[in-house]
Chains A and B, each alone.
Chain A
């Protein structure tokens, strides 16, 4: 658990570990002291089946403590199960397929995919942790020959930048290089996450 600020937060923001840093930054920058952040581990990405019930449990424990609840999960590959849980629990849905789409906005994301279906996306978080989460996570450290099995049909890595940072950029370049893709950089800022929280 990460408290965003001192005081006595009355609103619980539930999100993925992969965007926690960004969400805490938004909350601090805006001085929303009533919000605190709790996340599910980023690695659940790869087991989307576990996400909806994990989110439900967090919603219920927040409510049991008398907190307002905000959830920043998209569908994230749950095939509509996340939306059902949010509806059952009466929590507003931020929408979208995954965080990449929320960062860029739906129409720009669609355009990026139409422009090049072989696009692989990274965020600040993934650029920083690419080696551990993506490269090693896919077993490319142990089985280098799988690189083409995974990425053979991909043409470019699109780095969606939340906050300009030379080190992250260098990491994204190295990441793209390690899987043999060209790098394209797009500045998105906090996109839909910022906008959604502003309405709260």
Chain B
């Protein structure tokens, strides 16, 4: 039994094995963060790299993500119990009219893995839902995902509404957009605070936001 086996099981898409192995490590008293980072998230990193390099495709990546998710389910409540202090709170969702959520879910997993508190609003999310979730949870960052061309104007609307709420509804939250149709230029044009090409970069960028003391 070892962390390596968790890592391997993720790469073999063995969801049930991952859950069992993670539970066994937890029972054996292994450090939760070690299980998370060295077992689950580092495997997901490799999958992400292969996906970007075009050597692994959506179905395989999803199978690996499902396996990581099964491990996360076990680890998540323990992190909360441990009182591990989140390094920040993020609200995440796919914008209105768009039901694509594979990329969004990966982003969510990476943020959770990195120690952020995650509020995932799912898909087809209204600007107002983003704003109230950010208010209720005192969020630092709102992450907006979109895969459809029609999601671009929806992102623009959401970012504008969030900025307005920052001005006059006592909110102080940054926005980051992502998904294949958008880029840094678009993010700047609609007034979003950030754009990242993929989930690991998004986490790094969010860490930088936090360090800059937003």
Name A's B-contacting residues (CB within 8 A): 46, 48-49, 75, 77-80, 97-98, 113, 117-118, 138-140, 142-143, 145-146, 149, 153-154
- Known A-B contacts A97-B150, A138-B58; the reply to A113 vs B97 at CB < 8 A is yes
**Interface stretch among B37-45, B160-168, B176-184?**
B176-184
C-alpha spacing A143/B150, complex, angstroms: 30
Sample (9) of A-B pairs whose CB atoms are under 8 Å apart: A77-B149, A77-B181, A80-B149, A80-B181, A97-B150, A143-B13, A145-B66, A146-B59, A149-B102
> Do most interface residues of chain B lie in helix, strand or loop, or is the interface mixed?
loop
Looking at B101, B123, B147, B150, the one whose CB has the most chain A CB atoms below 10 A away is B150
Q: Are A97 and B97 in contact (CB under 8 A)?
A: no
C-alpha spacing A140/B101, complex, angstroms: 17
C-alpha spacing A97/B146, complex, angstroms: 14
Q: List residues of B (56-103) whose CB comes within 8 Å of A's CBs.
A: 57-60, 62-63, 66, 97, 99, 101-102
> Within 8 Å CB of B60, what residues of A?
139
C-alpha spacing A80/B186, complex, angstroms: 10
Q: List residues of B (1-58) whose CB comes within 8 Å of A's CBs.
A: 13, 57-58
9 cross-chain pairs, A with B, having the tightest CB-CB distances, nearest first: A139-B59, A79-B181, A97-B149, A75-B149, A153-B99, A117-B124, A143-B63, A143-B59, A97-B150
C-alpha spacing A142/B124, complex, angstroms: 29
> Within 8 Å CB of B148, what residues of A?
77, 97
C-alpha spacing A146/B58, complex, angstroms: 11
C-alpha spacing A138/B61, complex, angstroms: 11
Q: Are B149 and A79 in contact (CB under 8 A)?
A: yes
Closest to B96 in A: A117
> Within 8 Å CB of B182, what residues of A?
79
11 new A-B contacts at CB < 8 Å, known A49-B180, A153-B101: A48-B180, A75-B149, A77-B147, A78-B149, A78-B181, A79-B149, A113-B97, A138-B58, A139-B62, A140-B59, A149-B62
C-alpha spacing A170/B18, complex, angstroms: 41
Q: Are A138 and B181 in contact (CB under 8 A)?
A: no
> Within 8 Å CB of A140, what residues of B?
59
> Within 8 Å CB of B186, what residues of A?
79-80
C-alpha spacing A29/B123, complex, angstroms: 43
> Within 8 Å CB of B147, what residues of A?
77
> Within 8 Å CB of B152, what residues of A?
79-80
Q: List residues of B (122-153) whose CB comes within 8 Å of A's CBs.
A: 123-124, 147-150, 152
Looking at A77, A79, A140, the one whose CB has the most chain B CB atoms below 10 A away is A79
C-alpha spacing A97/B101, complex, angstroms: 19
C-alpha spacing A97/B60, complex, angstroms: 28
C-alpha spacing A75/B146, complex, angstroms: 15
C-alpha spacing A153/B123, complex, angstroms: 9
C-alpha spacing A142/B63, complex, angstroms: 11
Closest to A109 in B: B150
Q: Are A79 and B99 in contact (CB under 8 A)?
A: no
> Within 8 Å CB of B124, what residues of A?
117
> Within 8 Å CB of A145, what residues of B?
66
Closest to B54 in A: A47
C-alpha spacing A14/B182, complex, angstroms: 25
Closest to A153 in B: B99
Q: Are A139 and B123 in contact (CB under 8 A)?
A: no
Nearest Cβ on chain A to B159's Cβ, whole angstroms: 16
Q: Which residue of A77, A97, A139, A153 is within 8 Å of B58 (Cβ)? A: A139
Q: Are B99 and A118 in contact (CB under 8 A)?
A: yes
Nearest Cβ on chain B to A145's Cβ, whole angstroms: 8
Nearest Cβ on chain A to B57's Cβ, whole angstroms: 7
Q: Are A146 and B62 in contact (CB under 8 A)?
A: yes
